[in-house]
């Protein structure tokens, strides 16, 4: 695979080369939009702070809102009641400076969104340029969920900073094409650069994490025992049932579909939904199988840690720590993960 | 020497222990230590052993009154609309209350969400709570690993840095402009009352926006609310928001769309604030819990200012006074009414 | 609401009128043949106290260029005090909307009694003039592309 060494200026030049064909987004470092992914207009190396930006990269895979179709209900309209595709501007994106945890979330969500043509189309539309982490923040726990601060999964190109320069490695065919745009001015990567990257990877692997491969342990556990575990009550006592965790989570992909009509014109949109909300599973009959707060809280964690691994393999958490950092009542998913892993039903008779 | 907060913590623990062990309360709402620096977590103590987990410090930003109506209800036998109220005494709940939280409990009592006889209020005069956001800004958004709180300072440490901050510098804006730090109702008071505070320009932040031009105000509103993710943390952290169905969940008519488009986000924030008119105590819970730092408290603060200026009332100051929007005065100002412009009162 | 070429633009104004006074006032304006601009769309409610902020904002959201809320004069409410409670709510809403940058004059309030047909016509003229000056509403308008 292609690899180049780029300094900050070279990155700027590369960005401006890519900008001909694609819109480039990077996290804003200050102002009211701080932490949100904003369109770059000035093609210099964006300032990217350690840790994850406030918003996850899923906003590109699940645009808020995403128009699925349009329609008219004006009887005199020739197209009345015929759904039509929304217009596309045809532009593709480059999402720059994606942390390994966020990048990894794209593939995890794709497991559940295999048949979701909109998600697949957005995967095609958005090229991911990752940036590995040289600093692991106190709320980060990617390596406990199967990721790594040096991870490249989900990236088309992965950047690693070494002594103020960036080693850019193409990870996919699309990444090769993008990196080719820097070929004329990018420096060759030397063996010592490669070994520096390898050393960082090795350091990341040898971390002293307490938890390794939680998915294997969780898959072995009995679903109903976990479901009826006593610790959910204490979590529900303090959870306020807001959607901060789900909306900031890169691997929460649940959505709501709404038909909006105004003056005879309408559209069908999908926007993110949260299992914390009372409408989430409300049936048309008025019955809600998750009507109580405790049931909603439990669902979020059981989905990530048990239902998802049972069905797809890995746990549906990349350890970005946004929910840990931003939960208003300090519900810490790392503790919940430990509670689930360490839980043994005292009442059961299994040996 | 223990700090003020450590002393308060000791007293809270012993009161909660007594209330739970004597069976006077079935549960006690307080705070316990959190898993991150500068974090505490709301905690419902249900056994007397739990009392030792309770803590008190400058990061108790979420208004505990938020939990009160639902927790009281959880101890009632289930009943359907129209069923008679349950007979006999129901279990009580103990709760910590600072000035603003106690005023919210007053509002809840007046709105029939809370039965005064079923609450044991443990009052704690507030010294002002610290804004974690301000602390993070003060240390340049670096990763904070520990925070040690003294009476007047915070020692913040992270990888490769150590910084001492003056506590008052990082106290939340609503606390800095608070004039009623003492609980207005309580059964037990912990610590010494602080007395009414004298604050110049209580509404300075609101005035600043009012002085902007119309265009500037609109741009301020559009910019500062643009990053809203509609997680409703502000609504759910608010002790006033107990409606079984919120207006955002109405579908026929749908007052507010579900997306994060500008109009829908703005309408949500206008209506959320407006529903708090005459009820909000400026406890700052909404602003403190916002994961993206939206200043939605300024909308309610503006309403608080108008309610005080026009109706001479502040929410929840006494159990005897009606809430300002549940009453009227025939002489209320009405300069905004087209047909009354010429009369006294003038254009406001 | 809808599409109008800019030249021939005429504002659409939603008027929430109380059944007992302002609606009767509008009726009287009609039978007495007082002329007023045809820009208002009347919604009849039992009392101005029934008007909630949701309704006013929903009118703006749906693209109304202006809103008029009108009820009985204070003291004349059919339900004794509905309009007096409403007055406090309207005052606060009016100020809050201005605070967030909604043009003064988009949302208007008036008291018109059943006997004030002429006043009703005057109010509608005044509101229509104001809204015309402001131009088409753009703020808090929902657009679904």
Contact at CB, B62 and A240, closer than 8 angstroms: yes
**Is the predicted pLDDT of residue B160 greater than 50, yes or no?**
yes
The residue ranking higher by pLDDT, A205 or B219, is: B219
Q: Percent of chain A at pLDDT above 70?
A: 97
**Total of domains in chain B:** 2
Picking from A35, A135, A242, the nearest residue to B233 by CB comes out as A242
**Is the predicted pLDDT of residue B310 greater than 90, yes or no?**
yes
Contact at CB, C145 and A67, closer than 8 angstroms: yes
Contact at CB, A32 and B226, closer than 8 angstroms: yes
pLDDT band (50, 70, 90) for residue B348: very low
Are residues B219 and B284 located together in one domain of the fold? yes
Contact at CB, A330 and B36, closer than 8 angstroms: yes
Tell which residue, B335, B287, B283, B286, has the closest CA to residue B309. Answer: B335
In the block, tokens 């004349």 appear at C76
Are residues A53 and A183 located together in one domain of the fold? yes
Distance CA(A49)–CA(A31), nearest Å, equals 14
Q: Is residue C19 part of a domain?
A: yes
pLDDT the model gives residue B252 = 86
Contacts of C142 in chain B (CB under 8 A): 257, 261, 263-264
pLDDT band (50, 70, 90) for residue A90: confident
Contact at CB, C89 and B277, closer than 8 angstroms: yes
Are residues B210 and B74 located together in one domain of the fold? no
pLDDT per residue over C119-133, tens digit each? Answer: 999 999 999 999 999
Are residues B193 and B206 located together in one domain of the fold? no
Structural domain of residue C45, as residue ranges?
13-134
- Closest A-chain CA to C59: A262
- Average predicted confidence (pLDDT) for chain A: 92
pLDDT the model gives residue B322 = 95
Are residues B1 and B58 located together in one domain of the fold? yes
Give the domain-ending residue among A146, A173, A205. Answer: A205
Query: Is the CB of residue B43 less than 8 Å from the CB of residue B32?
Result: yes
Tell which residue, A108, C84, A59, has the closest CA to residue B311. Answer: C84
A2 touches chain B (CB under 8 A): no
- The full 3-state SS of chain A, as one line of letters, equals CCEEEECHHHHHHHHHHHCCCEEEEEECCCCCCCCCEEECCCCCCCCCCCCCCCCCCHHHHCCCCEEEEEEECCCCCCCCCCCECCCCCCCEEEEEEECHHHHHHHHHHHHHCCCCHHHHHHHHHEEEEEECCCCCCCCCCHHHCCCCCCCCCCCCEEEEEECCEEEEEECCHHHHHHHHCCCCCCEECCHHHHHHHHHHHHHHHCCCCCCCCHHHHHHHCCHHHHHCCCHHHHHHHHCCCCCHHHHHCCCCCCEEEEEEEECCEEEEEEEECCCCCCCCCCCCCCCCCCCCHHHHHHHHHHHHHHHHHHHHCCCCCCCCCHHHHHCCCCCCHHHHHHHHHHCCCCCCCCC
Q: Is residue A81 part of a domain?
A: no
Q: Which chains touch B (3 or more CB pairs under 8 A)?
A: A, C
Q: Is residue A145 part of a domain?
A: yes
Chain A nearest-CA distance from C21, in A, is 31
pLDDT band (50, 70, 90) for residue B346: very low
- Residue range A154-161: average pLDDT? 96
Q: Is residue C145 part of a domain?
A: no
Q: Is residue B154 part of a domain?
A: no
Q: Percent of chain B at pLDDT above 70?
A: 98
A339 touches chain B (CB under 8 A): no
**Is the predicted pLDDT of residue A33 greater than 90, yes or no?**
no
Q: Is residue C140 part of a domain?
A: no
Torsion sign, CA atoms A167, A172, A173, A174? negative
Contacts of B247 in chain C (CB under 8 A): 54
Chain A nearest-CA distance from C104, in A, is 25
Picking from C58, C84, C88, the nearest residue to B311 by CB comes out as C88
**Is the predicted pLDDT of residue B347 greater than 70, yes or no?**
no
Chain A nearest-CA distance from B282, in A, is 17
- Residue range A8-33: average pLDDT? 92
Structural domain of residue A95, as residue ranges?
3-66+89-205
pLDDT the model gives residue B86 = 84
Are residues B222 and B94 located together in one domain of the fold? no
Contacts of B67 in chain A (CB under 8 A): 237-238
Contacts of A326 in chain B (CB under 8 A): 291
pLDDT per residue over B1-31, tens digit each? Answer: 789 999 999 999 999 999 999 999 999 999 9
Q: In chain B, positions 216-235, which contact chain C (CB-CB < 8 Å)?
A: 216-222
Are residues A302 and A271 located together in one domain of the fold? yes
Contacts of C139 in chain B (CB under 8 A): 218
**Is the predicted pLDDT of residue B345 greater than 70, yes or no?**
no
| A68 exposure class (CB count in 10 Å sphere: 0-12, 13-18, 19+) | middle
What is the domain-level CATH number for residue C68?
3.40.50
**Is the predicted pLDDT of residue A350 greater than 70, yes or no?**
no
pLDDT the model gives residue C5 = 62
pLDDT per residue over A256-276, tens digit each? Answer: 999 999 989 999 999 999 999
Contact at CB, A240 and B145, closer than 8 angstroms: no
Are residues A185 and A56 located together in one domain of the fold? yes
**Is the predicted pLDDT of residue A156 greater than 90, yes or no?**
yes
pLDDT band (50, 70, 90) for residue A345: low
Q: Is residue A22 part of a domain?
A: yes
**Is the predicted pLDDT of residue B115 greater than 50, yes or no?**
yes
Q: Is residue C141 part of a domain?
A: no
Contacts of B292 in chain A (CB under 8 A): 35, 54
- Among A22-36, A232-246, B275-289, where is mean pLDDT lowest? A22-36
Chain A nearest-CA distance from B139, in A, is 14
pLDDT the model gives residue B342 = 54
Are residues A152 and A224 located together in one domain of the fold? no
Contacts of B218 in chain C (CB under 8 A): 100-102, 139
Are residues B217 and B192 located together in one domain of the fold? no
pLDDT band (50, 70, 90) for residue B131: very high
Are residues A180 and A243 located together in one domain of the fold? no
Give the domain-ending residue among A148, A182, A205. Answer: A205
- Average predicted confidence (pLDDT) for chain B: 94
**Is the predicted pLDDT of residue A211 greater than 90, yes or no?**
no
Q: Is residue C1 part of a domain?
A: no
The token pair that represents A132 in the structure block: 């590995």
Are residues A195 and A218 located together in one domain of the fold? no
In the block, tokens 């009128």 appear at C17
Are residues B186 and B223 located together in one domain of the fold? no
Assign residue A313 a region (left: φ > 0; alpha: ψ between -120 and 50; beta: otherwise): left
pLDDT per residue over A104-127, tens digit each? Answer: 999 999 999 999 999 999 999 999
pLDDT band (50, 70, 90) for residue C4: low
Give the domain-ending residue among A205, A228, A257. Answer: A205
**Total of domains in chain C:** 1
- Closest A-chain CA to C62: A262
Query: Is the CB of residue A57 less than 8 Å from the CB of residue A250?
Result: yes
Structural domain of residue B122, as residue ranges?
1-79+89-129+181-197
Q: Which residues contact A173 (CB under 8 A, 6 or more apart)?
A: none
Are residues B205 and B341 located together in one domain of the fold? yes
- Residue range A309-320: average pLDDT? 96
- Residue range B48-54: average pLDDT? 96
Q: Which chains touch C (3 or more CB pairs under 8 A)?
A: A, B
Are residues B237 and B187 located together in one domain of the fold? no
Distance CA(A276)–CA(C132), nearest Å, equals 45
Are residues B346 and B209 located together in one domain of the fold? yes
Are residues A331 and A262 located together in one domain of the fold? yes
The token pair that represents C131 in the structure block: 């809204």
**Is the predicted pLDDT of residue C2 greater than 60, yes or no?**
no
Give the domain-ending residue among B197, B223, B247. Answer: B197
**Is the predicted pLDDT of residue B37 greater than 80, yes or no?**
yes
Contact at CB, B271 and C54, closer than 8 angstroms: yes
**CA triple B19-B23-B24, angle to 5 deg:** 55
B157 touches chain C (CB under 8 A): no
Distance CA(A271)–CA(A66), nearest Å, equals 7
Q: Is residue B152 part of a domain?
A: no
Q: Percent of chain A at pLDDT above 90?
A: 84
**Total of domains in chain A:** 2
User: Predicted ipTM?
Assistant: 0.94
Q: Is residue C54 part of a domain?
A: yes
**Is the predicted pLDDT of residue A100 greater than 90, yes or no?**
yes
pLDDT per residue over B195-236, tens digit each? Answer: 999 998 999 999 999 999 999 999 999 999 999 999 999 999
Inter-chain Cβ pairs, chain B and chain C, closer than 8 A? 125
């Amino acid at each position: 695979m292609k690899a180049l060494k780029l300094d900050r200026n070279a990155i700027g030049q590369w960005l401006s080369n890519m900008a001909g064909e694609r819109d480039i987004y990077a996290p804003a470092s200050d102002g009211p939009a701080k932490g949100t992914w904003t369109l770059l207009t000035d093609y210099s190396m964006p300032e990217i702070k350690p840790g994850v930006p406030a918003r996850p990269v899923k906003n590109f895979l699940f645009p808020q809102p995403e128009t699925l179709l349009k329609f008219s209900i004006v009887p005199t309209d020739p197209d009345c009641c015929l759904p039509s595709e929304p217009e596309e501007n045809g532009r593709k994106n480059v999402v720059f400076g994606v942390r390994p945890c966020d990048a990894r979330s794209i593939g995890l969500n794709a497991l559940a969104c295999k048949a979701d043509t909109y998600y697949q189309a957005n995967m095609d539309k958005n090229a991911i340029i990752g940036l590995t982490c040289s600093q692991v923040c106190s709320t980060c726990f990617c390596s406990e969920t199967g990721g790594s601060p040096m991870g490249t999964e989900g990236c088309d190109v992965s950047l690693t900073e070494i002594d103020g320069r960036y080693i850019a490695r193409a990870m996919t065919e699309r990444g090769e094409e993008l990196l080719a745009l820097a070929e004329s001015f990018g420096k060759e990567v030397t063996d010592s650069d490669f070994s520096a990257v390898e050393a960082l990877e090795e350091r990341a692997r040898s971390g002293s994490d307490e938890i390794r491969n939680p998915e294997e342990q969780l898959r072995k556990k009995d679903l109903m025992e976990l479901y009826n575990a006593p610790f959910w009550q204490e979590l529900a006592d303090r959870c306020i049932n807001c959607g901060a965790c789900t909306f900031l989570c890169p691997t929460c992909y649940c959505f709501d579909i709404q038909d909006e009509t105004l003056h005879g014109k309408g559209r069908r949109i999908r926007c993110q939904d949260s299992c914390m909300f009372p409408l989430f599973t409300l049936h048309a009959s008025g019955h809600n199988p998750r009507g109580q707060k405790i049931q909603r809280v439990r669902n979020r964690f059981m989905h990530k840690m048990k239902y998802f691994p049972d069905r797809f393999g890995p746990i549906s958490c990349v350890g970005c720590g946004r929910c840990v950092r931003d939960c208003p009542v300090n519900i810490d998913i790392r503790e919940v993960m430990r509670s689930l892993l360490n839980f043994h039903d005292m009442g059961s008779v299994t040996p | 020497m223990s700090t003020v907060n450590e002393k308060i913590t000791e007293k809270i623990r012993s009161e909660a222990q007594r209330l739970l062990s004597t069976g006077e309360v079935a549960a006690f709402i307080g705070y316990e230590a959190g898993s991150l620096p500068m974090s505490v977590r709301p905690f419902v103590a249900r056994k007397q052993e739990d009392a030792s987990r309770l803590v008190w410090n400058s990061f108790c930003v979420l208004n505990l009154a938020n939990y009160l109506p639902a927790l009281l209800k959880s101890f009632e036998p289930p009943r359907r609309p129209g069923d008679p109220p349950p007979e006999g005494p129901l279990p009580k709940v103990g709760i910590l209350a600072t000035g603003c939280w106690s005023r919210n409990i007053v509002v809840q009592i007046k709105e029939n969400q809370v039965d005064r006889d079923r609450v044991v209020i443990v009052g704690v005069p507030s010294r002002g709570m610290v804004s974690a956001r301000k602390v993070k800004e003060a240390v340049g958004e670096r990763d904070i690993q520990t925070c040690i709180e003294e009476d007047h300072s915070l020692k913040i440490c992270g990888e490769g840095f150590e910084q001492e901050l003056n506590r008052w510098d990082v106290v939340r804006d609503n606390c800095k402009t608070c004039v009623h730090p003492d609980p207005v109702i309580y059964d037990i008071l912990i610590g010494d009352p602080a007395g009414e505070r004298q604050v110049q320009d209580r509404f300075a932040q609101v005035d600043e926006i009012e002085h902007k031009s119309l265009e500037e105000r609109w741009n301020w509103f559009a910019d500062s609310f643009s990053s809203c993710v509609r997680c409703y943390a502000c609504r759910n952290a608010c002790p006033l928001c107990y409606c079984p169905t919120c207006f955002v969940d109405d579908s026929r008519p749908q007052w507010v769309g579900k997306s994060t488009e500008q109009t829908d986000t703005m309408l949500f924030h206008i209506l959320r604030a407006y529903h708090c008119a005459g009820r909000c105590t400026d406890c700052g819970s909404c602003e403190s819990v916002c994961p993206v730092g939206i200043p939605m408290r300024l909308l309610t603060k503006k309403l608080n200012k108008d309610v005080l200026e026009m109706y001479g009332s502040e929410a929840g100051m006494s159990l005897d006074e009606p809430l300002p929007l549940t009453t009227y005065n025939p002489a209320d100002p009405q300069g905004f009414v087209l047909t009354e412009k010429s009369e006294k009162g003038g254009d406001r | 609401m809808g599409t109008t070429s800019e030249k021939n633009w005429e504002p659409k104004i939603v008027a929430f009128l109380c059944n007992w006074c302002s609606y009767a006032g509008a009726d009287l304006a009609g039978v007495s043949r007082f002329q007023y601009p045809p820009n208002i769309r009347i919604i009849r409610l039992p009392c101005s106290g029934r008007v909630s902020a949701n309704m006013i904002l929903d009118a703006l959201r749906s693209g109304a260029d202006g809103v008029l809320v009108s009820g009985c004069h204070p003291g004349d409410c059919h339900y004794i005090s509905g309009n007096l409670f409403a007055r406090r709510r309207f005052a606060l809403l009016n100020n809050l909307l201005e605070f967030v940058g909604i043009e003064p004059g988009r949302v208007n309030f008036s008291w018109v009694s059943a006997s004030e047909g002429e006043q009703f016509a005057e109010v509608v003229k005044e509101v229509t003039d104001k809204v015309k000056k402001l131009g088409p509403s753009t703020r808090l308008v929902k657009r679904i592309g």
